[in-house]
Each structure stands twice: as structure tokens, then as C-alpha cells.
Amino acid sequence: MTSCRIRLTFHGRVQGVGFRPYVWRTVRAYPLTGFVRNTGAGVDVELQGDPQQLRACRRALTLHLPPLARVDGLDETRLPLIETETQFEIADSQGKARGARIPTDIATCPNCLDELFDGSDRRYRYAFTNCTDCGPRYTITHSLPYDRAETSMSAFDLCPACREEYEDPASRRFHAEPNACPQCGPRLMLTDRFGELLKGDPIAGALQILEISRSVAMKGLGGFHLVCDATRADAVERLRGQKKRQQKPLAVMVLNVESARRLCHVSDAEAEALASVSRPIVLLDKKEGIDALLPGVAPGLSTLGVMLPYTPMQWLLFHEALGRPQGSVWRDEASDRVWVMTSANPSGEPIVTNNQEARERLNQVADVFLLHNRNIVVRCDDSVLALHEGQTLMHRRARGYAPDPVLLQGDGPNVLATGVPAKNTLTVLRGREAFVSQHVGDVGDPLSCQAMEEVCHHLLELTAVRPQAVACDLDPSHYPSELAEELSGHFGVPLIHVQHQHAHIGAVLAEHGRSGPVLGLALDAVGLGDDGKAWGGELLRCAGGEFTRLGQLSPLPLIGGARAVREPWLMAVGLLCAMGEDAEARQRFGSHPAWPALAPQLGRPFEGWQTSSLALWTDAIAALAGLCKEQRFDNEAQQKLEEMAEDCAPLAGGWQMADGQLDLSPLVRHLLTLGDDAGAIASLWHATLAAALADWTVQAARQADLGTVAIAGGCCANRRLMRLLLERLTAAGLSVLRPIALPPNDGGLSLGQAWVARERLLASFNASADAADTQLGLYRVDLD
């Protein structure tokens, strides 16, 4: 019978997820020869034999993928026969990464948990138990292909038992690169602040510290956590004092979904998110009385950030606290153990990753250090999300999600984008994939700048991309733009500046596979506009890489400049003075210590910066309501105003529109009549703002003959506002696009920068005289 040979190249998340043993097991059911191996492009499967058997096997390979695998593309090539081949085998990896992907870090799977708590198993209570279905991936990987030699596990030689598992295709640990056991793998240790090793079981010792209201710096997958007992007021207060984080809400870790339900209302969708393999922090609505149970954890807020254990070390802490129960039933039973689990970094600095750095930077923050000797290659904080109207609202995208790419509609040049200083991320476009980095955080001090550079170089290494353009914000004065300029010079490629709010809308279009034209509604904080002013509440007509501003919120004076962003009372003074209500401003804020220095400026026209920012408008209203005059953490004023709001009818005549500008001063004048009734002010503000934004947007859409609206910006995290606004826009017949996979805030902005830059490059290629000679394949340039 005539034989033939084919090569199948699988693209997607196919390395580090048990794909090769899956192929090996599947092919063995057919009389075929060949091999499977990791390559720089993904996974190659070469098959030789009867054509009918080849077709059946090819179909079978796509039917029942491993749980963590995702195939985004499959290429088939005919090859010459190899007459000497006698079997199907798993071959060594080949080539440098050019299209492969590294999987995200995955929560410990049920099979590994069974071993972890089985007293007869050789991995009983071993804190680094994992298999191909779970464990660290991204945070231990230097480069691709994903092999042990390219990870921080290369420092640990496999013992004979682990080697046998690692080389056995029938084992669920076949080529599980972090595979280890107590005989050959990483080890735990507990030390004091001076690095002195503390005797005894490290987990038991850490628990003893927690039970006397002290804190533990615990080394995890992508960095350290600071841990204390969330039910002890003195422990929480002490941790806050040590970390200099007096008011910002803290996340907690509980044993399981049933434990979370003791604290919060948990829907089925929220339970699914909590227990997913990504294990994010999920923002849940608190039950009554929880602030008394968890004093100081998230004071004054109706939501609580909750996550479940995702590493063996975290599971062991619960196991120890519950008295080392036998069996597995305890893993699903509700527990009253609640740990504060917050990122271990001094305020404003990047998360700590290595042992020496932890002792130096956390010496005055933690009481003891629960360490291990496996290096963290990549910083990666916990992801944070909420469920809103049946969809994910991502607040911070990091562990468990990065570096999974966003799939784009079209191909194009490779682009690197560096984001902005707040909630920084970076993005690399490679073909039809957009690799958005994990959350880097606020970039300002030297340590955070260094952390950003590390993420940038690692992302370029993993994707094997040499960018053909570098994109950044319109504002050249901050570090991400400075880094972009440096990199564009290094690679000898164009530097493309993208306006802030345009980038927000661009990120939504990229995620939804649209290029426009659409109407963009940017509900944001502050971004430098084309006119040199501070934008933040804009209507934009967006088409490809270009935009036209159709409208904006009426501008407010930025009294005090950047200081007004941190002190909402200054925004309130500016709002009142812009309305001619100087006396009202003096009555409400004249007792502030800074008033005497401010007062002389208010009697004459303000000549400084102005802003159309919706976030700063909202800050001003929060200050007028007496809820927040000075912000102690990001978005505190907006969160407190949202917390106080209840459903009500919008104020008739509460807004005006002229020449594309939306003026909310009629609403503000009415709010001034409500005195200090913060609840009434918050409720009427949200109801009327949603109605005003909808009216403004619908009219602009009709005038521009656009049926689709893309909404983005930090204010989209306000669930009440978004619910009211979306109801009105959809009722008006508009199709609404909003961020789902990425945060609506600045955490998703680098994707928008990269997408807009690529659209401009494509437009310039199409317009060039030699466009006919330009092929998409020429866009990709790999690193040497």
C-alpha cells in the first residue's frame, strides 16, 4: 500500500501543557511512524503511513486536547518518505522561539493535591509538587522552547524516580519542566530578619508567627506576599504600619468557595472565576458585619478582594492551620481561616522577587521570611477582576493570564509599545498575536523603571521579535516614553506617539477585531491631548490609526497641577470657581490649611492647565459630598462615591450640550442644594451622569452616522455608572464594545498604542508606491 508523510505544525498554547505526550498517546493507536517535538514555532508532528490512517489520526489529534492546551492554527505540509523509520517517538526540541508561546502559571491541580496530602506518597507535604497540568511556567522561564534547561529549574538535577517520570510519555509528569520531589528539588526555609535559619518545619513555624499577630513574607510564584491573620485587628494594623499602606484595601485568601461565601455574596460566575486555574483575586460584595470580622482589611468599602490558594505552599499553610487533617474532604469544607495576602513591596516600589532583595527591602516590613531556593525569573503580581453584567471586568491582568496573547483580526508589522507610567504594561505585536505583559505597576522611582526594562527585554526574548516600530504616549516627559525613544534608536525603527485616549479606544478595537470607523467614548483620568491640554472625557471618531475629536466634557481648572489628582478638594474648588461660586468654595473649603495660599489665585481668571477628565470631575463631586478631600490610595474618591450611590431618577435638565461639549454644571448647582447628604449627591450624580453621557453619545453617533460605540478608560471600572450607561446606549440601538480580556484602565493602554501604530504603518505601506511589493511575511523580523 502506498505511504505518504506529512508534517502538522500546531500553533498556540502547545508547549508546557502536556501536548507532546498527548500526541504520542493518540498516534500510538494508529499504525504510523514519525515523531513529535517542540519547535520555535510551536509543536511539529511528522506522520508517515497509509493516507487513510493519516487522515483519521489527524482528525483525532484535534478532538480531545489537554486541558491547558489551545490550538490557534494548524499547518500541514507534504514531505518525502523516510524509509528507515520504524516507530513513533518524542524527539528533542529544535529551534529558537519564533511562534511558540509560554503558558501562564497554573494553580495546583487535584491530582497533585491528592499526592500533597497523602501520607504514603513520596511528595507528601512537598511544597513544589506539580505536573504537566499545573504549576509555574511563565515565572520560571528565561526563553523558549520551553525546556528545563531554559528555566530556573535547571539548577536542580532530577533524581532517578523523577527522571523516570520525566522521560515516561505515559506519565502525567512527562517533560513537566518544574518536576521535582524532596530528594532533588527546591526546598523551603524559614529565617528571621537577619537571615538566620529558624529550626523546625518552615510551614509550622510560619503559622506560629501568624498566630501571635505578626507578619510573614512568603515567597510565591512571581514574587513575595506579606501575610497576616485577617481576623486580628492588631495584626492588620501592624502590617499596614509596616508597609505604609494605611487605607488601601487588602486582598485576602480563603480555603475554598464555601469559605468565601461566609464572607461575601458569591454568584455561580464568581465561584467559577475564584476556582479557575488562573486563581485571580475576585472583587466580591461583602456580607453584613464582615468589617467587624475582618477589621481594617477593606474599611468603608462594600467589596472585598478574595482569592483561593494556588500553590502547594499556600495549601500547606491552611493544612497546618487546620491541624493536618487526613483525606481530601477538608479541602471542600468551609473554614474560618482568612489570611491577608498582599503584594510584598514597600509602597510605590515593584514586588520583591529574590531572597536577598527580600531581606534588604522588607527588613522593616516582615517579621520572618518563608523562603525557597528556586529563582523567580519574572515578576508577576496577582490578577484582579470583577464580574459585571455577566462579563469579566479586569482590573489588573497578571499571574494566570499573562503572557497569553490577545488574538488580532489581521497580520502586520511587529510593534513594541511601552504604555504609560500608571498601571504600566508593555505590548509586543507579532503577526496576529498581541502579547500584553503582566501588570508592571506605577513607574516612577528607579526600581520600578528597572523592573519595567526587565519585563520589556524578557517579552522581546520570549516572542523573538525585533520590532519594526516602537509606540509610546504623546507625552515625552515620562519614563515609558523615554524608554521607547531609546529602543527606537537601538533598533533603528520609527518612534510613533499615540494620544492617550485614542490608545484606550484602540485597545478595545484590537480586542474585538474591529478597525472602525466607530465612535469612541473615553471616560478616563488624564492624558495629554493633541492641543497640549489634559484630556479625559472625550468623544472620538476612530478609524484605523487616525481619530477626530468630536466632543469633550466642559473643562475644569487643574488648580495645583498634579497635586489636584491626589487632593479632590482642589478639583472641587476649581469646579466651583469655574461656575462663579467663589463664595461657596470659601465656605466649604476655607478651613483647609492650604486655603490661605490658594485664595489669592481665585479672584482672577485661571490661566493654568485645564482638564476634561471625567475621573477628576467625579473626584470633585466626591469632595463636595464630604466623602474624600485627599486620596490615600488610587481612585479612593471615585470608589467612595460609587459606594454611597443608590438607584434614582436622573435630574431633568441636569446637563447642557453645545458645539460637542457636555456641560454638567446644571447638575452641580442642584447638588449644592443637597447640603451634606452624601448618599443623595452620589445617587443623583451617577443617575444623571449616565443619562447625560448617553444623550451626548447618541446624538454624536447619529450626527456622524456611526452605529458602534467603543467605551474605555479608568472610569469604566465604576460598575454602577456602566450599568446605567450601557442600558441607555443599547436601548438607543447602538452596538457597544468594551474591554473584557484587558483592563479598561491604563493597564490595557499599551495594546492600544501598539495597534494604532501598526494601523498607521499599514496605511503608509498601502499608500507607498511600492506597496505591491510589500508582503506580510516581510514584516516579521526575528532576533539573531
Q: How far is CA 708 from CA 476, 513, 693, 704, 730, in A?
A: 32, 13, 15, 11, 10
Residue 696's closest CA among 724, 655, 736, 667? Answer: 655
pLDDT over threshold 60, residue 61? yes
The residue length of the chain stands at 784
* pLDDT band for position 605 (cuts 50, 70, 90): low
Task: List, as one string, the DSSP characters of 279-315.
Answer: --EEEEEEPTTHHHHSTTTSTT-SEEEEE---SHHHH
Question: Is residue 167 included in any domain, yes or no?
Answer: no
Helix (H) or strand (E) holding 678: helix 678-704
Among the candidates 48, 68, 90, a domain finishes at 90
Question: Is residue 615 included in any domain, yes or no?
Answer: yes
Question: Is residue 132 included in any domain, yes or no?
Answer: no
State the Cα–Cα distance between residues 610 and 484, nearest whole angstrom. Answer: 27
pLDDT over threshold 90, residue 328? yes
State the Cα–Cα distance between residues 583 and 568, nearest whole angstrom. Answer: 18
Question: Is residue 397 included in any domain, yes or no?
Answer: no
Three-class DSSP category at 448: helix
Point out the residues that are catalytic.
Answer: 20, 38
What's the pLDDT at 304?
98
What's the pLDDT at 400?
96
Domain of 341, CATH number, reads: 3.90.870.10
Write down the mean pLDDT value for the chain.
93
Domain span holding position 245: 200-385
What's the pLDDT at 2?
82
Does residue 235 share a domain with residue 86? Answer: no
CB 497 within 8 A of CB 474: yes
pLDDT over threshold 80, residue 782? no
Does residue 368 share a domain with residue 309? Answer: yes
Do strands 415-417 and 656-658 pair parallel, antiparallel, or not at all (unpaired)? Answer: unpaired
What's the pLDDT at 781?
35
* pLDDT band for position 773 (cuts 50, 70, 90): very low
**pLDDT tens digit sequence for 123-159:** 999 999 999 999 999 999 998 878 899 999 999 999 9
Question: Is residue 646 included in any domain, yes or no?
Answer: yes
Total domain count, the chain: 4
Among the candidates 70, 90, 110, a domain finishes at 90
Amino acid letter for position 730: T
Domain of 680, CATH number, reads: 3.30.420.40
- Enumerate residues 6+ apart whose C-beta is below 8 A from 137: 16, 102, 103, 104, 105, 106, 146, 178
pLDDT over threshold 60, residue 769? no
- Enumerate residues 6+ apart whose C-beta is below 8 A from 301: 249, 286, 639, 640, 643
What's the pLDDT at 345?
84
Does residue 671 share a domain with residue 545? Answer: yes
Write the secondary structure of 542-553 as one string of H (helix), E (strand) and C (coil).
EECCEEEEEEEE
CB 312 within 8 A of CB 108: yes
Does residue 558 share a domain with residue 689? Answer: yes
Does residue 635 share a domain with residue 618? Answer: yes
